[in-house]
Homo-oligomer: A and B are copies of this chain.
Amino acid sequence: MAIKPYDERLDQLLRTAADVFAAKGFHPTTMRDLARATGMSLAGMYHYVAGKEELLFLIQRQCFENVYQGALHAVESATGPTERLRAFIRHHVTFFAQHMSEMKVLSHEAGSLSGERERPIIDLKRRYVDLLAGLIEALDTPRDVRIAAYALFGMMNWIYTWYHTAGPLSAEELAEQFTQLYLYGLQAPSTPVSPAG
């Protein structure tokens, strides 16, 4: 299963599938739903994808690779442990907001992949978690790093449950709120934001 060359039709299929999966859930979505949503024929989709589950796999893999790369980039262009963490959060949240469907599918449908195809996604996930864990570690926090990392992910990923892009709260603002909250807690003053400068 070598990485396929870029294919516009496939890409559109993945995008649409992500939307439908996000809206109805992976299992309730039928291949006919996807055919209807894409305008492709039922059989036609099988030219691009081996089946329904592979669709999910491809969506999750691509999405994970993209967040990961983006996070790497974001983190690299920041200086100092605090800023690096802030950059990570900002990137994760804005990426989430920009790719709501894919990220919801990633968050909510982990575990909908069976055996063979689960592995690679788990590995990607570990890599991504490790990245954050590293950032936290660099902060010399007294807290348990693993727990802290999962707590932050929970905080952020849960937004697919309540956050709407259309609303008044921009993703950047939301990210900053999360950052503040995460770094200084509920009771600390609102903006010791600037990295001490």
Q: Which residues of B contact A157 (CB under 8 A)?
A: 154, 158
Interface pair A158/B147, CB less than 8 Å apart: no
How many residues of chain A are within 8 Å of chain B by beta carbon? 43
CA distance A154 to B107 in the complex (A): 12
A184 with B185, Cβ < 8 A, contacts A108-B108, A150-B162, A156-B154 known:
yes
| A172-186 Cβ-contact flags toward B at 8 Å (1 or 0) | 001001101111111
Query: Is A51 an interface residue, CB under 8 A from the partner?
Result: no
| Choice from B25, B108, B181 contacting A143 with Cβ under 8 Å | B181
List A residues 102-118 near B (Cβ within 8 Å).
Answer: 108, 110-112
Give the residue of B27, B158, B162, B187 whose beta carbon is less than 8 angstroms from that of A25: B27
- How many copies of this chain does one complex carry? 4
- Does any Cβ of B come within 8 Å of A170's Cβ? no
The complex places the Cα of A96 from the Cα of B148 at a distance, in Å, of 18
* A47 vs chain B, min Cβ distance (A): 12
B25 and A177 contacting across the interface, CB-CB below 8 Å = no
In the assembly, what is the distance between CA of A108 and CA of B148, in Å? 22
Contact among B25, B150, B169, B186 with A183 in the assembled complex (CB-CB below 8 Å): B186
Given A25-B27, A142-B189, check contact A155 B151 (CB 8 Å). yes
- Report the bound CA distance from A173 to B158 in whole Å: 22
Tell me if A141 is interfacial: C-beta within 8 Å of chain B: yes
Known: A25-B27, A181-B182, A183-B186; 8 extra A-B contacts, CB below 8 A, are: A25-B111, A136-B186, A147-B181, A148-B186, A151-B178, A183-B187, A184-B187, A185-B186
Residues of chain A in range 148-171 having any CB-CB distance to chain B below 8 Å: 148, 150-159, 161-163, 169
